[in-house]
C-alpha cells in the first residue's frame, strides 16, 4: 500500500488567500516531474500557474475546475513511498463488505455538532436525512445542500411548499420572459468583491473640471514621431501620469491609504500609478512603479507592456499591487465625465474623458481648443472637498502648461 503525500494550495504572495481553479493541466494517475505545471489558478485578478513541488504519481485531484480553494487547502495527493498496512477485516453478516456510502463515512465530532446552514438543516429535516451522519464536503467539513441530496439518494424531490422550505430554485425564466444565468465568479467575481469593499470602506466624493490641453496636444504630436522610431507608442496617458505625480508631491494626502486598525493615515513617500485596462475578462489595474523616477518615454513603454500583459492574462501578480493612485481612461472608449470608484485601499482616482474640440475664449477671441474632461473621486475620510479641488486645479495647471514638468523629456 502507498502513503499519500498532501500538496496544499501554496501562498502565492501579495496577500492572496484564495483562488479559483481555472484548468487542471494534469489528471489522476499522471506521473509528473518537479516543476511541472499542475493547474492554472485565478487569484484576485491574475491567472497563476501552480508548479509541482515534487516528482511522483498523482493519486487524487481535489477540486473541480471553477471551484474556489483557499491557501493551505489540500489540492493534490501524491503517491508516496510504500508502507506496510494491516489486512482489512473480513466482512461479517452485520457489516457487509464494500465501502460505506459517502454520507455515513464520518460522524460529527463529539460535542461539536454539525457545520451546516439553517436552510441546509431544514432541507435535511424535510427529506428525512439525519444530518449528523452526512459527510460534509465543504470547508471544515461543512454540510451543503448537495451533500444532503446525495445522502437522500439522488436528486431531492420537488417539495410541496418550496417558498417555505428554505431551498431556492434557480429559475431560468421570470414573469416577463426567459433568463440567462451567468455565474459571478472568477475575475468578474473578484472585481465585484473589490468594488463592494471599496464602497463599504471609503465614503466617495467626486469633483469635476476640464483642462485645455491644446499645448500638450501639439507637444505630443511632435514627440510621438521620435518615440515611434524607438518602437514606443506615446499616448496622453504618459503625460497625465507625470502631471499627477507632480501634483501628488504638493498634495500628499491624495497619495495615501488608511490603516483602519491603527486609525492612521499612511502618506506614501513613493509614486506608483495604477492604470485601468479594459480586458475581455474585466477591468484590471496594473501599476507603473516609481513614476517620479522615470522619463516620459519609459513610462509610455511600461504602459504598453503592462496593458498587453493584462489583456493576455500573462501579467505577474506583483504588477497589480503597490499602487498609490489610479487613473481610469474611459475617454479612450467614449464619454466625457463619470464618477469613478476608488481602487481601495488607495484614497483617490482620476477619471479621464475624451478630448474634444470645443470653443473657448482665448484673450478676447473665441477659438477652438482641445478640451480634456477630468473627474476626481476621493475618500472623504482623508480628503475634504476643498483639498480635492486644489489637487484637481494643480493637475489641470500642469496639463495646460506641460513645460512645467518637461525637461528634455524627463522630470
pLDDT mean over 132-137: 84
Q: Could you tell me if 276 and 392 lie in one domain?
A: yes
Assess contact for 382 and 258: CB atoms under 8 A.
Answer: yes
Does one domain contain both 284 and 336? yes
Distance CA 392, CA 244 (A): 9
Domain count within the chain: 3
Say how far apart CA 255 and CA 244 lie, in whole Å.
Answer: 10
Contact 411/245 with Cβ under 8 angstroms?
yes
- Determine the pLDDT at residue 360: 95
The answer as to whether 246 is a domain residue is yes
Q: Identify the band that residue 84 occupies on the pLDDT scale cut at 50, 70 and 90.
A: very low
Structural domain for 41, as ranges: 2-82
Are 113 and 225 in the same domain?
no
Same domain, 154 and 275: no
* Mean pLDDT for the stretch of residues 93-118: 46
Domain co-membership, 244 together with 367: yes
pLDDT band at 44 (very low <50, low <70, confident <90, very high): low
What was the pLDDT predicted at 110? 35
Give the confidence band of 33 by pLDDT, cuts at 50, 70, 90: very high
Q: Does residue 365 share a domain with residue 291? A: yes
Domain assignment present for residue 410? The answer is no
- pLDDT tens, position by position, 163-206: 444 555 667 777 778 888 888 877 788 888 889 999 999 999 99
Residue 380 designated active-site: yes
Tell whether the model's pLDDT for residue 349 goes beyond 90. yes
Question: Which of 194, 201, 204, 380 does the annotation list as catalytic?
Answer: 380
Are 240 and 272 within one domain? yes
What residues have CB less than 8 Å from 339, skipping those under 6 apart?
204, 206, 351, 375, 377
The enclosing domain of 130 has a CATH number of 4.10.320.10
- Which cell goes with 161? 411548499
CA dist., res. 395 & res. 50, Å (int):
43
- What is the number of other CB atoms lying within 10 angstroms of the CB of residue 234? 23
Range in 184-198, 264-278, 340-354, 387-401 the model is least confident about: 184-198
d(CA 44, CA 124) in angstroms, rounded, equals 35
Is 115 contained in some domain?
yes
> Is position 331 within any domain?
yes
Strand pairing class (325-328; 273-275) = parallel
- Predicted local distance difference test score (pLDDT) of residue 160: 44
Task: Give yes or no for residue 3 having a pLDDT over 80.
Answer: no
* CA separation for the pair 103, 153 (Å, rounded): 10
Amino acid at each position: 500500500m502507498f502513503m499519500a503525500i498532501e500538496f496544499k494550495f501554496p501562498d502565492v504572495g501579495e496577500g492572496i488567500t484564495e483562488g479559483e481553479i481555472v484548468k487542471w493541466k494534469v489528471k489522476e494517475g499522471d506521473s509528473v516531474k518537479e516543476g511541472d505545471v499542475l493547474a492554472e489558478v485565478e487569484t484576485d485578478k491574475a491567472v497563476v500557474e501552480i508548479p509541482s513541488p515534487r516528482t511522483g504519481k498523482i493519486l487524487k485531484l481535489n477540486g473541480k475546475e471553477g471551484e474556489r480553494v483557499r491557501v493551505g487547502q489540500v489540492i493534490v495527493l501524491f503517491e508516496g513511498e510504500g508502507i506496510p498496512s494491516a489486512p482489512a477485516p473480513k466482512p461479517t453478516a452485520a457489516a457487509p463488505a464494500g465501502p460505506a456510502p459517502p454520507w455515513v463515512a464520518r460522524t460529527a465530532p463529539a460535542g461539536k455538532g454539525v457545520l451546516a446552514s439553517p436552510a441546509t438543516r431544514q432541507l435535511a429535516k424535510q427529506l428525512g436525512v439525519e444530518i449528523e451522519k452526512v459527510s460534509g464536503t465543504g470547508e471544515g467539513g461543512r454540510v451543503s445542500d448537495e451533500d444532503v441530496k446525495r445522502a437522500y439518494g439522488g436528486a431531492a424531490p420537488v417539495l410541496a411548499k418550496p417558498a417555505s422550505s428554505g431551498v431556492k430554485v434557480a429559475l431560468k425564466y421570470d414573469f416577463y420572459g426567459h433568463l440567462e444565468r451567468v455565474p459571478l465568479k472568477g475575475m468578474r467575481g473578484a472585481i465585484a468583491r473589490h468594488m463592494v469593499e471599496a464602497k463599504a470602506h471609503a465614503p466617495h466624493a467626486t469633483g469635476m473640471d476640464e483642462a485645455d490641453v491644446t499645448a500638450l496636444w501639439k507637444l505630443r504630436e511632435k514627440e510621438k514621431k521620435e518615440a515611434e522610431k524607438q518602437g514606443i507608442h506615446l499616448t496622453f496617458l504618459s503625460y497625465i501620469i507625470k502631471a499627477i505625480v507632480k501634483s501628488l508631491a504638493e498634495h500628499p494626502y491624495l497619495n495615501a491609504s488608511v490603516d483602519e486598525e491603527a486609525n492612521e493615515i499612511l502618506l506614501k513617500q513613493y509614486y506608483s500609478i495604477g492604470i485601468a485596462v479594459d480586458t475581455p475578462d474585466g477591468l484590471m489595474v496594473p501599476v507603473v512603479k516609481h513614476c517620479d523616477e522615470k522619463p516620459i518615454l519609459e513610462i509610455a513603454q511600461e504602459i504598453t507592456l503592462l496593458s498587453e500583459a493584462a489583456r493576455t492574462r500573462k501579467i505577474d501578480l506583483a504588477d497589480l499591487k503597490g499602487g498609490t493612485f489610479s487613473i481610469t481612461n474611459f475617454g479612450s472608449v467614449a464619454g466625457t465625465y463619470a464618477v469613478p470608484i476608488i481602487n481601495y485601499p488607495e484614497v483617490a482616482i482620476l477619471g479621464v474623458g475624451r478630448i474634444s474640440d470645443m470653443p473657448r475664449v482665448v484673450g478676447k477671441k473665441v477659438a477652438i481648443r482641445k478640451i480634456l474632461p477630468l473627474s476626481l473621486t476621493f475618500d472623504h475620510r482623508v480628503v475634504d472637498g476643498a483639498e480635492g479641488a486644489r489637487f484637481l486645479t494643480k493637475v489641470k495647471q500642469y496639463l495646460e502648461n506641460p513645460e512645467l514638468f518637461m525637461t528634455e523629456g524627463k522630470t
